[in-house]
Chains A and B, each alone.
Chain A
Amino acid sequence: MGLFFWNKHLSFEELNLALDGELKNDRKTTADKHLTKCHTCAQQFSELQNLSQSIEQAGRDMEQFADPASVWQGVEEAIREKKRVRLSWRERFGVSFPVLVARPALAFSIVAMILVFTFFVFQRGTLAENEATINSVTSENKLVMIFKTKERNITVIWLADQPAIAVPPPVVNHQ
Chain B
Amino acid sequence: MERQSDLDRKLVERARGGDARAFRELFDKYEKRVYVICYGIVRHREDALDLVQETFIKTYKSLAYFRHEANFYTWLYRIASNSCLDFLRKRKREKNPVPLAEELGADPETGDKEGAIVKSTDNPRETVVRKELAVQIEAAIQSLPPDHRSVVLLREVEKLSYDEIAKILGIQVGTVMSRLFYARKKLAEKLKGT
The 10 closest A-B pairs by CB, nearest first: A59-B157, A66-B35, A55-B156, A63-B32, A66-B32, A78-B57, A74-B53, A75-B56, A58-B137, A68-B31
Q: How far is the CB of A80 from chain B (nearest CB, A)?
A: 9
Residues on A with beta carbons closer than 8 Å to the beta carbon of B167: none
Residues on B with beta carbons closer than 8 Å to the beta carbon of A57: 130, 134
* Number of interface residues, chain B, beta carbon within 8 A: 47
From A12, A17, A21, A55, name the one whose CB has the most chain B CB atoms within 10 angstroms.
A55
Interface flags, B118-141, vs A, CB<8A=1, else 0: 110000000000100110011001
Given A51-B187, A75-B56: A62 in contact with B181 (beta carbons within 8 A) = no
Given A61-B118, A82-B61: A56 in contact with B157 (beta carbons within 8 A) = yes
For the complex, give the distance between the alpha carbons of A59 and B161 in Å.
17
- Docked complex: B145-170 residues within 8 A CB-CB of A: 152-153, 155-157, 159, 161-162
Q: Which residue of A lies closest to B48 (CB)?
A: A65
Given A12-B181, A52-B156: A79 in contact with B23 (beta carbons within 8 A) = yes
For the complex, give the distance between the alpha carbons of A22 and B130 in Å.
29
Q: How far is the CB of B41 from chain A (nearest CB, A)?
A: 12
Residues on B with beta carbons closer than 8 Å to the beta carbon of A7: none
Summarize A's interface: helix, strand, loop or mixed. Answer: helix
Q: Does B45 contact A (CB under 8 A)?
A: yes
Q: Are B60 and A66 in contact (CB under 8 A)?
A: no
Q: Are A20 and B162 in contact (CB under 8 A)?
A: yes
Residues on B with beta carbons closer than 8 Å to the beta carbon of A54: 133, 137, 191
Q: Does A60 contact B (CB under 8 A)?
A: yes
- Report B's interface with A, CB cutoff 8 A: 20, 23-24, 27-28, 31-36, 39-40, 45, 49, 52-53, 56-57, 60-61, 103, 117-119, 130, 133-134, 137-138, 141, 152-153, 155-157, 159, 161-162, 177, 180-181, 184-185, 187-188, 191
Residues on B with beta carbons closer than 8 Å to the beta carbon of A66: 31-32, 34-36, 49, 52
Q: Are A71 and B134 in contact (CB under 8 A)?
A: no
Given A12-B181, A66-B31: A55 in contact with B49 (beta carbons within 8 A) = no
Residues on A with beta carbons closer than 8 Å to the beta carbon of B35: 62-63, 65-67, 71
Q: Are B134 and A82 in contact (CB under 8 A)?
A: no
Residues on A with beta carbons closer than 8 Å to the beta carbon of B157: 55-56, 59-60
Q: Which residue of A lies closest to B45 (CB)?
A: A65
For the complex, give the distance between the alpha carbons of A21 and B159 in Å.
10
Given A16-B181, A70-B49, A71-B53: A59 in contact with B28 (beta carbons within 8 A) = no
Q: How far is the CB of B11 from chain A (nearest CB, A)?
A: 15
Residues on B with beta carbons closer than 8 Å to the beta carbon of A20: 155, 161-162, 180
Q: Are B187 and A61 in contact (CB under 8 A)?
A: no
For the complex, give the distance between the alpha carbons of A63 and B157 in Å.
11
For the complex, give the distance between the alpha carbons of A128 and B188 in Å.
82
For the complex, give the distance between the alpha carbons of A16 and B184 in Å.
9
Q: Are B20 and A71 in contact (CB under 8 A)?
A: no
Q: How far is the CB of B86 from chain A (nearest CB, A)?
A: 14
